[in-house]
Amino acid sequence: RRFCSYFLYQTTPAAQMVDVQRKQVELAARALLTHHKKQNRDFLLAEGESVWVQCVFKQTPSAQKQPKRIPLAHGLYDERTSDICLITKDPQAEYEELAASKNLPGRVTVMSVSKLRSDFKPYEAKRKLFQSFDLFLADDRVLDVLPKLLGKTFFAAKRQPVPVKISGKGGDWAAQVVKARDATYLHIGKGPCSALRVGTTDFTAAQLAENIMLVIEGLGKHDARKGKNIQAIHVKTDSSLALPVYNSVPTASDITHFGGVVAPRKKKVAAEAAAPKAIEAPPAAKREERKRKATKEKVEDSAEEALATPKAKAKAGASKGAESTKRPKKAKVDTPKSTRKASKSKKAGK
């Protein structure tokens, strides 16, 4: 919390582009590494955590299917230990020979679309494939069929294959693989926030600061308003608090661009406050008004009865007369048992 409060007041105001001081970024990176060491000083074989840059936009950008590539000075994947899967067209044997002839850097495995469709159809197989590789690359000509073949596991974790251009036998495959490997990617979804991985806690503070500065520069380039749509930028690890390194205050240009920052509800409240209010009547006047309305309703009801048609009146009178001419039924009187026995004996004597 001390770190957050300190960084919040050290942030740089908004400018034409995203203007962030290098010293501020290095200070934040050093603080994150110190926090990670304190959290894991009791663990001998503690694993490194990822370091992220969180970007908050003033206005939610339009969602895009393909991620935006931002190159890094220090890559996220080690060439000697990272496994890369390259998804290509059919036939697989032909592309495996091409990959072997191109001397691709690192451990790259070639997989065709037909093998992906046949061998990794069950969900468990897709999850096993997801855990088997550190990075997935794909020929840009087969990107349209991959969402259905890979499933939601890859896309929910932002691990969908990165497109590379390897069309043609004379293409520079090695350069394409290195360019895709030594970069981070901006995924623009339906919300105003995006997170980009810029390194791990195994990096030095200088390496993290260099990557963060490149990412901030890339955010300004990929922003439609050249950085003016960025509200705030934070850096954090997987388990730490987010440290702000940039914070923008809305200006007059933002109000003009977005058509007013005031929300529709606030506009409505402001309009109601500006409108002249009607003078509220006292309680006695309200009672008189209610009596007047009740009297008016009674008069209207009596007028409706007076304006009824003669036929309806005659019909109602005839129905009443018919009911009066009917003979009423005799009421059944319950007599006691002794009276009934006496009457029976009299009849028997006769």
| Extended strands (E) in 72-140 | 83-88, 107-112, 135-139
Distance CA 222, CA 55 (A): 12
* Pair 39, 239: CB distance under 8 Å: yes
Distance CA 159, CA 137 (A): 10
* Pair 108, 99: CB distance under 8 Å: yes
- Decide: helix, strand or coil at residue 4: helix
pTM to 2 decimals? 0.64
* Pair 176, 162: CB distance under 8 Å: no
Per-residue pLDDT of the chain (350 residues; tens, 9 = 90+): 444 444 443 444 333 467 788 888 999 999 999 998 888 776 655 678 899 999 998 888 887 778 889 999 999 998 888 899 999 998 888 888 888 888 888 889 999 999 999 999 898 998 899 989 999 999 888 888 888 888 887 888 878 888 888 876 556 888 888 999 999 998 887 888 889 999 999 999 999 999 999 999 998 888 877 778 888 999 999 888 899 998 887 666 666 555 554 445 555 555 666 666 555 556 777 778 888 888 888 777 776 666 665 655 565 555 555 555 555 555 555 555 555 555 555 555 55
